[in-house]
Amino acid sequence: MLTLTSPVEIWAHRVPAGGKLVALAVATTGLFALSSPGPLALALIATLCLYLTAGLRFARDGLRQLYPLWPFLLVVGLWHLWTRDLDSGLVVLQRMVTAVALANFVTMTTRLADMIAVFQRLAQPFERLGLSPRRVALAFALVIRFIPVMLDRLAQIDASWRARSPRRPRWRVMVPATLAALDDADRVAEALRARGGAG
Amino acid sequence: MERNLTHIALFAALIAVLGLVPKIDLAGGVPITAQSLGIMLCGTVLGARRGALAVLLFLALVAAGLPLLSGGRGGFGVFAGPSVGFLVGFPVAAFVTGWVMQRTTLSPGLSAWAASTIGGIGVLYVFGIVGIALMTGVSIQEASLGAALSFLPGDVVKTVIAGLVTQSLSRMRPASLLSRA
């Protein structure tokens, strides 16, 4: 499956994932502490420079990742124009774009396996509650493996419905899809137990 | 133990699949994403604890960088965006939905509909609206109005579908409703 990690390898890919996440947390907290448009504009420019250190192609990919935000930006922008509160409008918009762009930067420069390793490490303190790192990794792997399986099956259910009926199946595909998910869960559980359990 | 784990994982995958399917045309004409239907079903089928864990697992994969949120969004950026309140509210909504489902003795379909309305709309919107207000600087009232106008019609349809699906499941295979086991 596609991940959001950028295919363009840059210097930040070599920074450890844990370090990037801590830096992201600090930077985002800082952004929310700033409440005037001036410093936030500087933060936005700094973020843009961060993207540009990775080259134009990477920066363009990063810009594309921000695209889903535009309806919100438009609505919030118009709203603040209408209430004639330009300062707080600028604060909100700049803060959101900067925070999302910084978070995307970390996502774009960290491989999925490294990110999952971080989650495993975070799970360690909860080992006694039944959340062992091994089990976390297994759960992640199961989800990733079963998404394409379920997509295929949903298409099959849809096709067999069309073969029987001229009407569209609509919500009714959900019943066999959910039943199949429950059956799969039982079968995978049996298979795991037969192989020594989930640990 | 293994069954718990696999149910949580498979329902996390179900939430993801419901967000990826472009439009199953669930309601005929109304453009809705089915993702929050997955959240509701986690609660009504798996119950409170497992349902909430399935949603948490799904969110962990989104945070890890898989584009599984409806519209192909993912990564840490979505937690810095305007809909962060809804994301934080997802596991709580699944938990409350499952809790109501476990505590009511009405027919499965009716309780599932009521539970999804309370969890998937009532609880979820509290989180979502506070999130919008905090992230965009509009007031709570304005955020509520916006959320109600843009999401409420679709979500009401989804609670009905969650009720119908749960009802069919309980009729076809009563043991499959772990929330009522």
Name the β-bridge partners of B73.
Answer: B69
Radius of gyration of chain B (CA): 15
pLDDT value at position B25?
47
The answer to whether A100 contacts B67, with C-beta atoms less than 8 Å apart, is: no
**Contact of B37 with B18, CB cutoff 8 Å:** yes
**Contact of B43 with A188, CB cutoff 8 Å:** no
Please name the residues between 52 and 81 in chain A that touch chain B, using a CB distance below 8 Å: 65, 68-69, 72, 75-76, 79-80
* DSSP secondary structure code for residue A110 in this structure: S
Nearest CA in chain B to A103: B77
pLDDT value at position B13?
96
Residue where the block lists tokens 């907290």? A29
Tell which of A174, A183, A187 to mutate to test the B interface (max B CBs under 10 Å): A174
The SS3 call for residue B74 is: coil
Nearest 5°: the CA angle B22, B129, A41 is 90
- What is the C-alpha separation between A96 and A99, in angstroms, rounded? 5
The answer to whether B80 contacts A1, with C-beta atoms less than 8 Å apart, is: no
Name the β-bridge partners of B7.
Answer: none
**What is the average per-residue pLDDT within A7-12?**
89
Q: What is the pLDDT along chain B (181 residues), one digit of tens a residue?
A: 788 999 999 999 999 998 887 654 444 444 456 889 999 999 999 999 999 999 999 999 999 988 888 877 888 888 988 889 999 999 999 999 999 999 998 999 999 999 999 999 999 999 999 998 988 888 899 889 888 888 888 899 999 999 999 999 999 988 888 888 7
Measure CB to CB from residue B169 to each of A96, A101, A179 and give the nearest one.
Answer: A179
Q: Does A40 touch chain B (CB under 8 A)?
A: no
Q: In one letter, which amino acid is B162?
A: A
The answer to whether A4 contacts B28, with C-beta atoms less than 8 Å apart, is: no
List all residues 6 or more positions away from B108 whose beta carbon is below 8 Å from its beta carbon: B166, B167, B169, B170, B177, B180
Q: What is the mean pLDDT of chain A?
A: 89
The model's pLDDT over A82-119, given as tens digits with 9 standing for 90+, comes to 887 888 888 889 998 999 999 999 999 999 889 889 98
Domain coordinates in residue numbering, chain A: 11-121, 128-194
Residue B17, burial from CB neighbour count under 10 angstroms (0-12, 13-18, 19+): buried
Which residue stretches of chain B are H helix?
2-20, 35-41, 48-63, 84-103, 108-116, 124-136, 140-172
pLDDT value at position A193?
92
- What's the pTM? 0.89
- What is the C-alpha separation between B12 and B4, in angstroms, rounded? 12
- What is the C-alpha separation between A119 and A117, in angstroms, rounded? 5
Number of A–B residue contacts, CB under 8 Å: 191
Q: Does A180 touch chain B (CB under 8 A)?
A: no
Measure CB to CB from residue B172 to each of A147, A179, A188 and give the nearest one.
Answer: A179
The answer to whether A112 contacts B9, with C-beta atoms less than 8 Å apart, is: no
pLDDT value at position B81?
86
| Residue B69 main-chain phi, psi, to 5 deg | -70, 150
Closest CA to A192 of B140, B6, B106, B127: B6
List all residues 6 or more positions away from B35 whose beta carbon is below 8 Å from its beta carbon: B15, B18, B19, B69, B70
Both structure tokens of A14: 């070599």
Radius of gyration of chain A (CA): 23
Q: Does A137 touch chain B (CB under 8 A)?
A: no
pLDDT value at position A67?
85
Tell which of B2, B53, B78, B145 to mutate to test the A interface (max A CBs under 10 Å): B2
Structural domains of chain B ordered from first start: 2-180 (1.10.1760.20)
Tell which of B1, B4, B8, B10 to mutate to test the A interface (max A CBs under 10 Å): B10
Task: State yes or no: pLDDT of A197 exceeds 50.
Answer: yes
Q: Which residues of B touch A72 (CB under 8 A)?
A: 81-82, 136
